[in-house]
Chain A
Amino acid sequence: MHIQELILRLQRFWADRGCLIGQPYDLEKGAGTMNPLTFFGALGAKPWNVAYVEPSRRPADGRYGENPFRVYKHLQFQVILKPSPAAVQDLYIESLEALGIDFSKHDLRFEEDNWESPSLGAWGVGWQVVLDGMEISQFTYFQQVGGLDCRPVSAELTYGIERICMFLGGYDNIFDLVHGEVKTDDGVFPVTYGQMRQREEFELSAYSFEHADLDLHRTLFEAFEKEGWRLLKDHGHFLSAYEQALKMSHTFNVLDARGAVSTTERPGIIKRVRDLACGCAKAYLEHEEGKTPAAENAEGAEKHGAASAKGGAK
């Protein structure tokens, strides 16, 4: 199955089951959980179902495009279901069936794998889902995000897109995967993952292992942190502040891939990212709680009124 077909089927499947189809967030990040659709979506009481693709960067996993299984950047398909439905495991299995997996011939296991993101102040319990011996998904019941209890609890499903594609097609090399087909007047041209991404893998690996300016990254880390706290404290802006936390996290990953962070420094640096992320989570919830329906209506009416006024002046 082509990569794009797999993504389209998952999107169709989850849209049909009442999920919003979201988009990747346009900042570097290590996992789909960091997307605000999940980070803020998992907080608070409002119902929230969303599914989206997230390109995820792990600088230390870069292999210059030479390793057939490991890459600097891979695609995650992320689903958040809040509150977690009673039949969530069955829903997940049906989504695999929608990809053409016939469970009369395959082995499926849910093996304990608890998830924790120290830089987001988030943790949950769950499983890695193992199909015929391969981990194809991570399944988590969020217990805390941004240092705050999740009430209700969200279920998070994360599919490894490339892995599932390789597995279904029996590919031995990630770069041989077919992303999709380009059809022109001259014919049909399949485009491989390698054609789309191999050079990118090479350059990004070289960047994270060789060319990244470490002093610059250290400076950037400090600057993003300062900027984040300024936004949060002086303006109460948790979304723009959260972006700074994401930038800190990626900057840290670049430094870490180079071995520029010692084991003793590490927890302290992660804590600095977490503190900002937790600050954003708290500010978000305070904002949500303060936003009573009446206040929201008033705000809407006010905007509407302003627009009319504008219209009137025209």
Chain B
Amino acid sequence: MSATQTFLLELHCEEIPARFLEPLTEEFRTAFSTWAKSQGLVSTTVGAFFSPRKLCWHGALPVSQPDQTETQVGPPQRMCVDESGQPTIQGQKFAEKWGVGFDQVRFEQPAGKKEPCAVVTITKKGRPTVDLLAEALPGLIASLHVPKAMRWGKSDFEFVRPIRNILCLFGDQIVPITVDGVTATNTTWGHRLYHRQHAAPITIATPDVYESVLEAAGVVVSVEVRRSRIAQQLDQLAAEAGGRVVADASLLDTLAEIVEFPKIVRGDFPASFLELPKEVLVTSLREHQKSFCIEGPDGALLPCFLTAANRPDDPAGFVKAGNEWVLKARLYDARFFFAEDRKHPLSDRLEKLQALTFQRELGSYHAKTGRVVAIVKALATRLSKDEAHVEHALEAARMAKCDLRTLMVGEFPELQGIMGGEYLRHEGAHEDVWMAVKEHYRPIGAEDAIPATPMGCLLSLCDKLDTVAGCFAVGLIPSGSKDPLALRRAGQGIVRILWERGWALEPAELIDIALKAVGSKATRPAADTTEALMSFFKDRVAYQLESTGYAGSVRRSALAAGWENLVDLKARCEALSAFAEDPRFASLAQSAKRIGNILKDEHPVHAFDAATLQDATEKALAERLMGIEASGDQGTLLAALADLAEPLEAFFNAVMVKCEDPALRAARLSLLHRLRQAFLRVADFSLWQ
């Protein structure tokens, strides 16, 4: 094993957009590892750092490639040596070709040759790693895939942002590379503000001091360290303010990505802004100021916020004052929107939805509202006999999209639904109505909860159903990684609502209702759309089982026994999971498979005469069949099936099903057929492994 040295490459750029930092770091890491392997440079894992202005990779590599020996086979011996044992011209040429004297040529019979041939063994000296790095790195850097590449200055070179310095070391050696006119050195730049006082770049003598030297120059190069420092300061400052941080993992990530030396600063805003809805404040602070809100023990916001500065301190209080000043301006705007929007009732926007396109073929949001109302009408009566409920649900459906024409949603699109709900609440709408409107976009993602109220769930379901069915009806069907309208997410939302609410509405029925609402706007035959939607929903249901956490055997066998009735499917999955560890199930699954094989190509009748049966084991089975067929709920049924494991095994051990006696044989087949029907009420055990 040869000696190793640490390699380090840092591209110091102008501020790289936060969203590209990690992908670029990862891409280069993979490309570099692949390259190192191809060169015979077995490396330890390549580590990486990044900060707004730095992309950095490091790892140990051998100081040179291993020497490689190769055997080269030449012409047959008879052509290389003449009768007197002297080398022929051809023999000498072969030696020359490989740069050796003729005395080093051996004669052996290599595998696959019919006679001895000239053979030489060449030792290829491994090249120094530093040379290989110098040759390969510029190409590896240039071939990074940058999603929004730019040019700068006079060059045609493209990268994510201008590269201003390259630090490239192998041990204490500088790897001499040049990228777009920038030549590597053993120096780099620390924090921008640090260099307002220190004109010269900082020297990194060896890779192992990289982190500590940069921290001293104001840059924490590890994003994990920055993130944990931010999280810890957030918690501490929120506690000091008497509350806790309104959690937002993606905002935390963003802050860790946009600062090089994080310092959390707490600022205050006038308490009068607390009259704005909580969501407006949280969104405005997050979107405009990348700030966290603090909530008190009761969940209400406190009039203060937390934001990250890109420096270690706030010596004159300018950072706090500046952020407070800006936030006030932002909240002033938010209050203006909130007041303006409420000058007219929300319902005034209904007509204006005609000018807002939902989708070209499907028409405006006004048209969409009409369809959602129709779907709600069809389903609400199914779920509630209370006429007032139905009326409220219809009212919520009519109002659901109106907030798209409000100033606040124009400014903060992510407040759609929430603002509609808030405005309706201020207008004195019924709680069911405003809550439903407020929550009808939920669940927004896999992490988000479904609406808290039944009416919210109904509205969300109908809205998403219209989106999915409508798009399918005009040929907008997700395929592969292409799902620009996020229909899979909408479909998942539908399934989750049915699943979590326990609503026994079957997909076929929902599709039928939704396609009726789409009516003549459809551009594809209804039968094709229905088929595509059924397969789409089946996939969504399968995904639901997976994300609920059921084992593969439970999912496979339960789904195969029917997926459309989600309430029933859920009960079966629960019951199966409860029995999954039961050893009798393995045996039962074996027997089920056996039954499947036996019944293949058979057409047993349902009825059989128990008296025909002869063996004690089959009589016992027949007795149990009655009990099993009578069990109502899935749990009891499964318990009964589990009890069947042993008798079934005994039966197969004792009995040859396909016997000579036709009557007996028919009765046995019928018995097995009936048992399988009972199994299939829960699961297809042949898929249980």
Contacts and interface: CB of A to CB of B under 8 A. Distances in A.
Partners in one complex: yes
Given A108-B193, A112-B19, A172 B315 contact: no
A213 interface: no
Interface in A39-69: 63, 67-69
Interface stretch (A7-15, A127-135, A231-239): A127-135
B289 interface: yes
Contact of A132 (B152, B192, B319, B328): B319
B150 interface: yes
A106 B14 CA distance: 19
B148 A114 contact: yes
Nearest to B263: A107
Name which of B152, B193, B328 has the most chain A CB atoms within 10 A of its CB. B152
A292 interface: no
Interface in A129-158: 131-134, 141, 143, 150-153, 155
A18 B18 CA distance: 33
B325 A67 contact: no
A86 B153 contact: yes
A83 interface: yes
B315 A105 contact: yes
A29 B323 CA distance: 30
A70 B14 CA distance: 31
A112 B315 CA distance: 27
A69 B327 CA distance: 11
Interface stretch (B305-313, B473-481, B566-574): B305-313
Interface stretch (B35-43, B329-337, B589-597): B329-337
A198 interface: no
B154 interface: yes
Contacts of B152: 84, 141, 153, 155
Nearest to A45: B154
A263 B357 contact: yes
B328 A107 contact: no
Contacts of A195: none
A248 to B, nearest CB: 22
A112 B18 contact: yes
Interface string A104-118: 111111111010000
A155 B192 CA distance: 20
A89 interface: yes
B326 interface: yes
A167 interface: yes
A109 B323 contact: no
B17 A112 contact: yes
A262 B319 contact: no
A90 to B, nearest CB: 9
Interface in A77-123: 83-86, 89, 93, 103-112, 114
A167 B322 contact: yes
Interface string B10-53: 00001101110000000000000000000000000000000010
A282 to B, nearest CB: 20
Contact of B153 (A83, A104, A264): A83
Given A68-B332, A133-B326, A141-B150, A86 B318 contact: no
Given A84-B153, A143-B150, A132 B18 contact: no
B549 to A, nearest CB: 38
B154 A83 contact: yes
A134 B325 contact: yes
Contacts, number: 114
Contact of A109 (B154, B161, B197, B258): B258
Q: How large is the interface on B (under 10, 10 to 19, 20 to 34, 35 or more residues)?
A: 35 or more
Given A110-B14, A263-B357, A143 B151 contact: yes
Contact of A152 (B14, B153, B322): B153
Contacts of A93: 192, 196
B14 A89 contact: yes
A131 B150 contact: no
Interface in B475-520: none
A125 interface: yes
Interface in B557-601: none
A134 B14 contact: no
Nearest to B311: A107
Nearest to A97: B196
B196 A134 contact: no
Interface residues of A, number: 42
B259 interface: yes
Given A70-B333, A112-B18, A132 B150 contact: no
A8 to B, nearest CB: 24
Contacts of B656: none
Given A107-B309, A141-B152, A263-B356, A133 B336 contact: no
Given A83-B153, A143-B150, A103 B196 contact: yes
Given A68-B332, A107-B311, A134-B326, A86 B164 contact: yes
Contact of A104 (B18, B315, B328): B315
A170 interface: yes
B315 to A, nearest CB: 6
A190 B495 CA distance: 67
Interface string B601-615: 000000000000000
B318 A106 contact: yes
Contacts of A85: 153
Contacts of B639: none
A111 B356 contact: no
Contacts of B142: none
Contacts of B322: 106-107, 131-134, 167
B321 interface: yes
Contacts of B311: 107
A69 B334 CA distance: 12
A85 B258 CA distance: 24
A151 B164 CA distance: 19
B321 A132 contact: yes
Given A93-B192, A112-B19, A105 B355 contact: no
Interface in A263-291: 263-264
Nearest to B196: A103
Nearest to A131: B322
Contacts of B14: 89, 110
B332 A69 contact: yes
A132 B318 contact: yes
Contact of B193 (A89, A103, A167, A263): A103
Contact of A107 (B151, B154, B310, B357): B310
Contact of B196 (A63, A70, A104, A132): A104
A236 to B, nearest CB: 29
A262 B192 contact: no
B630 interface: no
A108 to B, nearest CB: 7
Interface in B143-187: 148, 150-154, 156, 161-162, 164
B196 A133 contact: no
A125 B357 contact: no
A153 B315 CA distance: 38
A133 B323 contact: yes
B527 interface: no
Interface in A221-247: none
A120 B321 CA distance: 38
B192 A108 contact: yes
B231 to A, nearest CB: 20
Given A131-B322, A170-B325, A67 B154 contact: no
7 closest A-B pairs by CB: A132-B322, A133-B323, A112-B17, A110-B15, A105-B316, A107-B309, A152-B154
24 contacts: A84-B153, A86-B153, A86-B164, A89-B14, A103-B193, A104-B197, A106-B318, A107-B311, A107-B318, A107-B319, A112-B18, A114-B148, A132-B319, A132-B323, A133-B289, A133-B319, A133-B323, A141-B151, A141-B152, A143-B150, A151-B156, A153-B150, A167-B322, A263-B355
Interface of A: 63, 67-70, 83-86, 89, 93, 103-112, 114, 124-125, 127, 131-134, 141, 143, 150-153, 155, 167, 170, 172, 262-264
Given A85-B153, A107-B314, 5 more contacts: A104-B196, A105-B316, A111-B15, A141-B150, A143-B150
